[in-house]
Amino acid sequence: MQLSLLQGFGINQYTGNKALIITEHELNAKQKQGFARKQNLPVCIFVDDDSAGNFTVDFYYPHRQSPMCLHGSLAAAKMYFKIYPTTIAQIKAAAGIKINARQINEEQITLSVIPEIINKSLPSLYEVSEMLNLAPSYIQDIAIASVGSIKLLVKLTEIEQLLKCKPSLTKITSWGKGRGINGIYAYYKEDSNITGRNFNHLNAELEDSATGVAAGALTLYYQQSLIVNQGINLNNHCQILTEYSKDLIYLTGNIYFIA
């Protein structure tokens, strides 16, 4: 078993969301989950097949498997480009989702994902208010969108409320599990600039500093290219640049090996 720690979507090499890649392993699903729980990192990426034509990865958070994780995919693409001397790759998630990757330079990789059509009923304003521990007056819009991992997108009226928000992570996790929705992404929007926070982990200390699937979902929802900032409240500023097209959503970010 070989371990590589990476940091992705940071504004430079000193910031970013951590991702641990595990290669040369023979772990089953139960062992993967146990390993990820012990690491207590935002995501562990198990490379189940490292062949050039079928590079397959399995994403695990400390508390569950995930069908898709784009900062994990960014790390997987970085590993692919380290192994194979090329600038184009396809990463396959164990759940069947395919992510195309293109190396822009030593630091930047662009991922492209396919938008999904989602038909799910929205929660009430009251439900969202309860989960976020915010007064309903601070909630401006509620939507659901997906580029591989379904997100509840909640637009807030004030950036100050976003940054100091202390939601009920237990309620969010329980609600999402029952509806097949992977957490809440709360955000403030000004033109094409987004500041967001992702509430998807049971442990508040594991709050993501970058959430690619949410950036992609927002790009799809607004049908607009965006600059998505996250991690500001964690003193770990991350930034994802997105590009909208009808058939594909593109996300570009920095990615570095750190151990």
Query: Hey, do 2-113 and 125-255 end up sharing a CATH topology, with the first three levels equal?
Result: yes
Residue 203 has pLDDT above 90, yes or no: no
Domain ranges of the chain: 2-113, 125-255
Q: What is the pLDDT of residue 29?
A: 97
Top-tier CATH class for 125-255: alpha beta
- Which of 66, 94, 74 lies closest to 21, judged by CA? 74
Q: Is the pLDDT of residue 129 over 90?
A: yes
Q: What is the pLDDT of residues 30-49, one digit of tens each?
A: 999 999 999 999 999 999 99
* pLDDT value, residue 51: 96
State residue 206's pLDDT score: 84
Tell me the three-class secondary structure of 222-249, residue by residue. HCCCCEEEECHHHCCCEEEEEEECCCCE
pLDDT digits (tens, 9 = 90+) for 65-108: 988 899 999 999 999 999 999 999 999 999 889 999 999 999 99
Question: For the chain, what percent of residues have pLDDT higher than 90?
Answer: 90
The pLDDT of residue 202 is: 84
* Average of per-residue pLDDT across 20-27: 98
Q: What does the pLDDT look like over 206-219, one tens digit per residue?
A: 899 999 999 999 99
Helices (H), ranges, the chain: 29-39, 70-83, 125-132, 159-164, 169-179, 212-222
CA distances 121 to 14, 57, 145, 179, Å, are 40, 31, 11, 9
Of 1.10.3720.10, 3.30.70.100, 3.10.310.10, 3.40.50.300, which CATH number belongs to 2-113?
Answer: 3.10.310.10
Tell me the whole-structure pTM to 2 decimals. 0.92
